[in-house]
Structure 1
Amino acid sequence: SPSPLRQLVPLDELHLRTKDPLFEKDPSVPARFQRMRDEFEKIGMRRSVDGILLVHEHGLPHVLLLQLGTTFFKLPGGELQPGEDEVQGLQRLLTDTLGRPDSVPTQWIIEDTIGNWWRPNFEPAQYPYIPPHITKPKEHRKLFFVQLPEKSYFAVPRNYKLVAAPLFELYDNSQGYGPIISSLHRPWDDSTLST
């Protein structure tokens, strides 16, 4: 069946403010993997969700990314709580990350799944499949398309920048964006995006 048509809002319809910084749970990468290991013993595989927020500028699709420092980019999202519904969890995480505390909560419209990524071990590597020899993946990350309202009001944590990266810039650029973000150009073609 054909993919649904995605209506992209213009980049200049995003209304941005800043808010208090949002810090990662873990002070370092080794600490993050140690926490993942500890939690895996208790509750099993970590479940994470990320939102794909697309806008357009001059007719070209861009994905919204959070930039921390000069070289680290991430999609808005994060870890689900044990037993938490994926869609409700992503709505909570998007509100925590980009919601404006001074206004009506954004109605995040979570649409279909764009991708699934699996972390086979307590290491950085993630794949868009479960390697055949892995019986107990350590993390499942699910990517969802988020339909933005015509006018979007965001508050960006002070320690991040919200950047709009053109989809063409992501292509084959895992050096700059990592494997997940650099693969985002794949699900889209001209017949599925409308500006």
Structure 2
Amino acid sequence: MGDDGHVNAMEDDEASAAEQRRAIDIYPLRNYFFGSKEALLFKNEALADRVQRMNSNYAAYGLRTYVGAVLLVELFKHPHLLLLRLRNSIVQLPGGRLRPNESDLDGLRRKLSSKLSAIGASDASDWEIGECLGMWWRPDFETFDPHLSSNVKGAKECTKLFLVMLPENREFFVPKNLKLIAVPLCQIQKSHETYGPVISSIPQLLSKFSFNIIGT
């Protein structure tokens, strides 16, 4: 096979791989309404007290599981990730800790409704949760960088990220002490120090998908 044939074969392989990637429908940010609701109550405690509380809960209930939602929107013709900001510095994915014996999906739906839906709204089942994108394990609560491995023995905490597909339109109601922001995926990938190891890995985790931006 000549050079032209080799190049054509490579192009065909790349095109075939692209076709095999599952497309994610993303809608413009302008399609969504953003309102506010009563502030959430957060524990005001010192780091040492927080670590002690988490260790006590681990002793009582076992592995602590945190679930986070990957929500995507379009802005300026590029995919953006929705994040919650607390105190103008702490940034996190919508989600939270599971209750004892609560399933991943039930817990994530509960947390999404608590942080992003109107008070009293019964739309927990309306959240379309897709596949788990990744899992991180932490062997202790004193070290705040999670370990990306399924073989961590005696892990105390597991963080799971799930892809959540947004409909064409939706109303978001965010607690007054939180702010919902849209951050470009390209910015997140380059800002490990700002967003931490979990959030900054999301662009790479999404590389197996293609984005179908609708309505731009």
Question: TM-score with structure 2 length normalisation?
Answer: 0.83
Q: Which residue of 1 aligns with 2:47?
A: 29
Q: Aligned runs of 1:17-96 on 2, under 5 Å?
A: 17-25=35-43, 27-96=45-114
> What is the CA–CA distance in structure 1 between the aligned matches of 2:110 and 2:122, rounded to whole Å?
14
Q: Which residue of 2 aligns with 1:129?
A: 149
> What is the CA–CA distance in structure 2 between the aligned matches of 1:9 and 1:29, rounded to whole Å?
39
Out of 146, 155, 174, the residue aligned to residue 164 of structure 2 is 146
Sequence identity (%): 34
What residue identity is the alignment partner of 1:30? A
Q: Which of the two has higher C-alpha Rg?
A: 2
Alpha-carbon offset, residue 172 of structure 1:
3.1
- Work out whether residues 4 and 192 of structure 1, in 8 Å CA contact, stay in contact via their aligned partners in 2: yes
> What is the CA–CA distance in structure 2 between the aligned matches of 1:90 and 1:191, rounded to whole Å?
22
- 1:188 is paired with a residue whose SS is helix
> What is the CA–CA distance in structure 1 between the aligned matches of 2:207 and 2:192, rounded to whole Å?
20
Alpha-carbon offset, residue 51 of structure 1:
0.5
- 1:170 is paired with a residue whose SS is helix
What residue identity is the alignment partner of 2:131? D
- In 2 relative to 1, CA 77–28 (structure 1 residues): closer, same or farther, beyond 3 Å? farther
- 2:171 is paired with a residue whose SS is strand
Please state if 1:119 is matched with 2:138: yes
- Work out whether residues 47 and 141 of structure 1, in 8 Å CA contact, stay in contact via their aligned partners in 2: yes
- Work out whether residues 71 and 176 of structure 1, in 8 Å CA contact, stay in contact via their aligned partners in 2: no
- Work out whether residues 24 and 209 of structure 2, in 8 Å CA contact, stay in contact via their aligned partners in 1: no
Question: TM-score with structure 1 length normalisation?
Answer: 0.91
- 1:95 is paired with a residue whose SS is helix
> What is the CA–CA distance in structure 2 between the aligned matches of 1:41 and 1:15, rounded to whole Å?
42
- Work out whether residues 26 and 32 of structure 1, in 8 Å CA contact, stay in contact via their aligned partners in 2: no
Please state if 1:183 is matched with 2:201: yes
Out of 31, 35, 42, the residue aligned to residue 13 of structure 1 is 31
What residue identity is the alignment partner of 2:153? T
Tell me the matched-pair count.
193
The CA RMSD measured in Å over matched residues stands at: 1.9
Alpha-carbon offset, residue 113 of structure 1:
0.6
Q: Which residue of 2 aligns with 1:163?
A: 181
- Work out whether residues 190 and 200 of structure 2, in 8 Å CA contact, stay in contact via their aligned partners in 1: yes
> What is the CA–CA distance in structure 1 between the aligned matches of 2:70 and 2:202, rounded to whole Å?
9
Unaligned runs of 5+ in 1: none
> What is the CA–CA distance in structure 2 between the aligned matches of 1:28 and 1:8, rounded to whole Å?
40
> What is the CA–CA distance in structure 2 between the aligned matches of 1:10 and 1:117, rounded to whole Å?
30
- Work out whether residues 188 and 203 of structure 2, in 8 Å CA contact, stay in contact via their aligned partners in 1: yes
Unaligned runs of 5+ in 2: 1-16
Q: Which residue of 1 aligns with 2:9?
A: none
